[in-house]
Structures are given as structure tokens and as C-alpha cells.
């Protein structure tokens, strides 16, 4: 599929071990089995160029491997219970999956300043969270009266003695195998490689379908007519910029097919659709406040990244936040507002989506004038006072007094509860 790339410069690196089997999808990708050894030569976003090693350390093959299939040998990343960066909401959904029972646990990197990690354990129909700190001597502890040289020792102690409520961390949480898209250098792909399977909906930026790449990888495909694409050169430049954006809370652009009508914009598939659909659907009624705060924190984290890349979204709204398994949120449609011609009906649609619930009975013009006069939406039912205060700061007419996304992320992450053993 691809012409063979020039090998990157040889760099010395540690030895990595593969966590799952993988079958290469293109000629430049290596196939391997769980437990195979690698030396990573170059780290490049979601794919590493690596040497596959035999037991004696000799190189037997070189090529691309998906980064999230490898872990540094003899590091905590190889432990089945270590999940790295994981939001609180995703943690709960993973532990509450049918593969797990009471006592299922995982260790994740703490989102709070000061703490190193968090131990999360399933307790029947809920999940309990315990903060893990590190003292000046480098030892780990959940209670200052008892510290441990490493995390396995800490886990062994509480597996024997128990945490709170008689709960014990017994079995590592089920860890699902990642599903990467293929690696390719040319993002312009033939339309024949993609299959439109099911229409998911229509939006400002065309129709959206669930699809697949060569019946191997599930994707989402936006379908646009070329007449709707503004300024072809701007379109290409903006797509080039979007291709470079890589963050866990930013919707990944996989490929485009733009040489003929219609234009395909191919992204990763998010199983639960938009945040707006989720909140307004039956499942939205059962979301806990802690879950919604965590989802807002994920969005703020994605927007922090966009800000760090000097990238302006231009159309941030619940309809452009995509939700995947375990309520994992990603910011989507960034930059699209300047790529696609807006059509008739958008003003009416945005009026229905944005203004009806919080400003019922008011026209767009009335809302505009009331907001300019300092009117703020009343506190929603069951919304904590702390959170409503944060919302009001975001509505300040003076932009210099509004919190930035970094501040929002920090304050949202601070609204959490932990219970550590005595």
C-alpha cells in the first residue's frame, strides 16, 4: 500500500514488550505476538518505528508498531492492573463492566496535584477511590502511618488487610485490546477503501455514517459535497493542521478522500454519539453528577491541548463532543466551522439546541439583549453551588475575568471524593 519509508535515525532505547497479539494491516507494519521484545527506534505520535528482537537480542525485523501495544520491559506499565492516564468516569465504567466483579481494581495516574496514583476498586454496584501519595523517601502510602517501597507491596498489604468497608483489591480490571487505524504516510485515501454502513445523522457539516476501512476497522465518515467546501486551498491547509493534532480527548482524523465528489472526512468512531444526544436520551437521565463533572473535565483537557497548539475550535458545543465506550469524551469538529459553507436552517437549529432549555419562551434577539444586560441562566436542578459559581464566571461579560480552560480543568478535577484507609 505504501512505498517503503526511509529508515529513521538509529537511536538507543530501552527494551519494550508487547501486551497483545497484532497483525500488520499494511506492508510497513510488523505483526507480532504478546510477549515479543522490541527496541523502539523512533516515537511518532500513535506509531513507533521499532526493531523486533529475538530472545538473544538480535534484530529480526523492523517496522511500525502501534504505540499502545508496547510497554517498557520491567516497568509498571507491564502490570495488568496499571492503566496510566484514565479519567474517573472511564475508570468507573471499566470496573463496572460485566467482565469485572467485586474486588476488581486498577491503578491510574492521579489527576490531583500532590498525589501520584489512585487505586480504584469495585465494591458491588459502586467504585471506591483511594489516593496514593509518595513521601520524601520515595515510598508509597495511602495512610502516613504505613508506607511501602513500591506499588506491588502496597497492593499485597491491602489485599491481605483490606481497605475500607472490608473491601480488598483482588483481581486486575479487565483490559480491552486497543483497535488502531493502519499507519500510512499519505492521508488522501481512495474512496473504494471505505464502506458506508449506517447513517448516524445529519449535521451542519454534512451527513455522518458509521463505516469501515476494508472491513477491518470501524470508522466514522463525514460525507460532504465539494460545492459545500469553502476555498479548496483553505480546506487542504486546515486538514493538514488537523492531522497534526493528537490528544486523548481530541477526535482523531484518520484520512480524507477529497479528489472527487463527495468528499469523505474519516475519523475514529465513537460508540455513544454526541454528548448532546447522550444527555437528552434515556441514559442521560441516569448520569450521576460526578460523571457529568468528570466528562466536563475531559472536554476542558482537550480544549487545553487545542489552546497549547494555538488552534481555535470556533464551534464548541455539546453536539460537537463525541462520547465513546466508558463515557470517554473527545472534542470533535474543530476547525470545521471555517471549512464548510453554512446552510439555511442553521440559525433555527441552533436556536432549538442552545436556547430552548435554558431560555424557554425567548427569541434569539431577546436572549442576546438579556445576556448583554448581565442576565445569567438560573442554577439547574441538582447542580452544586460550587459548579454553578464556576458556570457564572464563564458567563462574565468581561473576557479577562473568565477562567481559561486550564483553570476550568483544575477546578473540575478538584470536585471529587476519595476514601482512604485509617
Check if the beta carbon of residue 222 is closer than 8 Å to that of residue 200.
Answer: no
Spatial neighbors of 213 by CB under 8 A, at least 6 apart, are: 181, 182, 193, 194, 219, 254, 255, 266
Residue 212 host element (H or E): strand 206-213
Active site residue 315: yes
Q: For residues 341 and 229, what is the distance between their CA atoms, to the nearest angstrom?
A: 6
Per the residue annotation, which of 150, 228, 315, 325 is the catalytic one? 315
Q: At what angle do helices 289-308 and 405-414 cross, to 10 degrees?
A: 150
Phi, psi of 92 (to 5 degrees): -60, -45
SS3 189: coil
**Nearest residue to 420 (alpha-carbon basis) of 129, 156, 139, 169:** 129
Residue in the block written with cell 439555511: 344
Cell of 319: 453536539
Check if the beta carbon of residue 224 is closer than 8 Å to that of residue 213.
Answer: no
Neighbours of 183 (CB within 10 A): 23
Q: At what angle do helices 289-308 and 88-95 cross, to 10 degrees?
A: 130
**Nearest residue to 284 (alpha-carbon basis) of 234, 335, 323:** 323
Cell of 49: 518505528
**Nearest residue to 170 (alpha-carbon basis) of 118, 116, 126, 106:** 106
Q: For residues 195 and 178, what is the distance between their CA atoms, to the nearest angstrom?
A: 21
E-strand spans in 57-203?
Answer: 59-66, 70-72, 104-109, 117-123, 126-134, 140-143, 146-148, 171-172, 194-203
Tell me the residue length of the chain.
422
- With the CA atoms of 139, 144, 145 and 148 taken in that order, what torsion angle do they form, in degrees rounded to the nearest 10? -20
By annotation, the residues acting in catalysis are 315
Amino acid at each position: 500500500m505504501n512505498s517503503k519509508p526511509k529508515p529513521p535515525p538509529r537511536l538507543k532505547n530501552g527494551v519494550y514488550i508487547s501486551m497483545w497479539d497484532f497483525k500488520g494491516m499494511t506492508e510497513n507494519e510488523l505483526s507480532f505476538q504478546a510477549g515479543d521484545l522490541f527496541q523502539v527506534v523512533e516515537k511518532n505520535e500513535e506509531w513507533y518505528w521499532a526493531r523486533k528482537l529475538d530472545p538473544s537480542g538480535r534484530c529480526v525485523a523492523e517496522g511500525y508498531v502501534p504505540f499502545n501495544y508496547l510497554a517498557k520491559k520491567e516497568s509498571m506499565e507491564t502490570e495488568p492492573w496499571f492503566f496510566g492516564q484514565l479519567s474517573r468516569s472511564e475508570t468507573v465504567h471499566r470496573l463496572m463492566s460485566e467482565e469485572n466483579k467485586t474486588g476488581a481494581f486498577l491503578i491510574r495516574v492521579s489527576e490531583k496535584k500532590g498525589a501520584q496514583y489512585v487505586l480504584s476498586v469495585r465494591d458491588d454496584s459502586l467504585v471506591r477511590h483511594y489516593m496514593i501519595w509518595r513521601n520524601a523517601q520515595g515510598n508509597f502510602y495511602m495512610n502516613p502511618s504505613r508506607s511501602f517501597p513500591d506499588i506491588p507491596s502496597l497492593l499485597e498489604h491491602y489485599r491481605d488487610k483490606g481497605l475500607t468497608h472490608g473491601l480488598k483489591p483482588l483481581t486486575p480490571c479487565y483490559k480491552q485490546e486497543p483497535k488502531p487505524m493502519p499507519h500510512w504516510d499519505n492521508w488522501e485515501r481512495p474512496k473504494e477503501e471505505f464502506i458506508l454502513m449506517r447513517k448516524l445523522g445529519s449535521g451542519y457539516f454534512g451527513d455522518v455514517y458509521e463505516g469501515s476501512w476494508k472491513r477491518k476497522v470501524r470508522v466514522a465518515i463525514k460525507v460532504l459535497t465539494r460545492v459545500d467546501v469553502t476555498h479548496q486551498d483553505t480546506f487542504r491547509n486546515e486538514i493538514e493542521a488537523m492531522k497534526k493534532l493528537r490528544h486523548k480527548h481530541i477526535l482523531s482524523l484518520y484520512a480524507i478522500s477529497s479528489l472527487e465528489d463527495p468528499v469523505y472526512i474519516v475519523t475514529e468512531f465513537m460508540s455513544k454519539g454526541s454528548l448532546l444526544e447522550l444527555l437528552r436520551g434515556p441514559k442521560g437521565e441516569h448520569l450521576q453528577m460526578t460523571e457529568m463533572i468528570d466528562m466536563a473535565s475531559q472536554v476542558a483537557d482537550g480544549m487545553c491541548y487545542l489552546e497549547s497548539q494555538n488552534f481555535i475550535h470556533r464551534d464548541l458545543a455539546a453536539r460537537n463532543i463525541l462520547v465513546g465506550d466508558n463515557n470517554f469524551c473527545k472534542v470533535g469538529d474543530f476547525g470545521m466551522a471555517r471549512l464548510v459553507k453554512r446552510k439555511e436552517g442553521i440559525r433555527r437549529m441552533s436556536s432549538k439546541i442552545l436556547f430552548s432549555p435554558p431560555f424557554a419562551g425567548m427569541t434569539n434577539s431577546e436572549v442576546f439583549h438579556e445576556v448583554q444586560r448581565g442576565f445569567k441562566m438560573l442554577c439547574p436542578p441538582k447542580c452544586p453551588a460550587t459548579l454553578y459559581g464556576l458556570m457564572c464566571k464563564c458567563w462574565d461579560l468581561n473576557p479577562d475575568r473568565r477562567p481559561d480552560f486550564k483553570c476550568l480543568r483544575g477546578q473540575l478535577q478538584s470536585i471529587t471524593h476519595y476514601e482512604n484507609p485509617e
